Amino acid sequence: MTAQQPLTGPEAGELLAVAVEAGGGRLVSWRANHVDGPTVGYRVRVSRDGAEVEDLLGATTAQPLPGGVTVLGDGASQVGVWRAAHDPALPGMRVVLGAGHGHVRLRSYRPLKRAVFEVVGPRGRFFVKVVPPSKVRDLRLRHQLITEAGIPAPRCVGWSEDGLLALEALSGRNLRSSLTASPTELIGLLDRLPAGLLVLPKRSSWLARTSYYAEVVAGAIPELSSWATELASSVVAAGHEGPIVPVHGDFYEAQLMVGASGNVTGVLDVDTAGPGDRLDDLGCLLGHLGVLAQVLPHRAAAIGRFEAECLAVFDRVVDPRQLRLRAASVVLSLATGPHRVQEAGWQQATRDRLQLASRWLESADRANRKERNHHVSNA
């Protein structure tokens, strides 16, 4: 049994019901909506004081349990449960929800990791990120360095030691919906990332994490263990990392805003910007586009054309074989996503993503043979 099963199987409902009752309510319904190792997030309906309300809960089996949580279980096996508003690793949640300034909407929540709120008030529309207090200074520095370099990332308009960072809202359409950006402009954007980012902690590459993601897939669907493990081994054996340069760290179409002419008007989520490998940023975009085509089959043709345009341009600035291997690593990481968010049909979606990663590996092999043949013909 994995660490996740007590928190995602039928017994999870019993645990949540006890925790809700301890807080004076009654659990009406629940659904796991985020799984990250031993930590799980839930969307629940709770009856309290004669009314039903929606709420978000978090739970973990990771030891030692964080302070300030409801502890359930015996001495041998314990689970910590909390309401999102009282996340023990994100004290800023209580600050945002208790501020009472304007309309506050929770846009995303990853238990113990981060949350994003949209706030609309007299001063306009902003986004507030909530991170562990130990991470907020580096996050503020990232935004400062990147905006001072002329890159259109959200400008920081305020922050606090509780782990809060307030960011201006950016204009434009998401690249995911428009698919209109110039791949050459995207390369230029990455070239402009400031050297000051190199002082920040280095993010491990997608290549270095390939085997880990294969293990996660195997844990979620044991019958895929051999496929995922062999795929990861092939990618790692053939791959190598490139020079260390400033990188975005999570560079894909949902992180980019574009204007009417396709020019980039915004770069979002620079939380992992720092020293890294350019192959990671380019492979990240390609990997995400391939998965997006699976998720949105009615747009697959348009997504495929944009992906091909990007691949043709990216091939001219990095090693084509290594680029495809990195895309395979990224897709393998995304193969953990359907189970993590507990989407309907997650088992088949996981298989589809492993198949996509396999196709990137095959494409890398073809690129390698093409390069060898080119050298032979020029010998």
Cα–Cα distance, 2 to 21 (Å, whole number)? 27
- Say whether pLDDT at 366 is over 90: yes
Structure tokens at 324: 């495809």
Contact 335, 358 (CB under 8 A): no
Q: How big is the chain, counted in residues?
A: 379
* Model-wide pTM > 0.85: yes
Domains belonging to the chain, first-starting first, are 5-83 (no CATH), 92-168 (3.30.200.20), 173-373 (3.90.1200.10)
Q: Which residues of 29-50 are buried (b: 16+ CB within 10 A; e: fewer)?
A: ebebbbbbebbbbbbbebeeee
Percent pLDDT > 90 in the chain is 84
Cα–Cα–Cα angle for 183, 146, 253, rounded to 5 degrees = 35
- Say whether pLDDT at 301 is over 60: yes
Q: What are phi and psi of 355, to 5 degrees?
A: -65, -40
Q: pLDDT tens digits for 150-208? A: 999 999 999 999 999 999 999 889 999 999 999 999 999 999 999 999 999 998 999 99
Q: What are phi and psi of 235, to 5 degrees?
A: -65, -45
Structure tokens at 353: 């993503």
Q: What pLDDT score was predicted for residue 93?
A: 96
Q: pLDDT tens digits for 70-127? A: 999 866 789 999 999 999 999 999 999 876 667 999 999 999 999 999 999 888 899 9
Structure tokens at 28: 């009406």
Structure tokens at 191: 């070239």
How much is the average pLDDT of 368-374?
A: 72
Q: What pLDDT score was predicted for residue 98?
A: 77
Percent pLDDT > 70 in the chain is 95
Per-residue confidence at 253, pLDDT binned at 50, 70, 90?
A: very high
Q: pLDDT tens digits for 314-348? A: 999 999 999 999 999 999 999 999 988 887 899 99
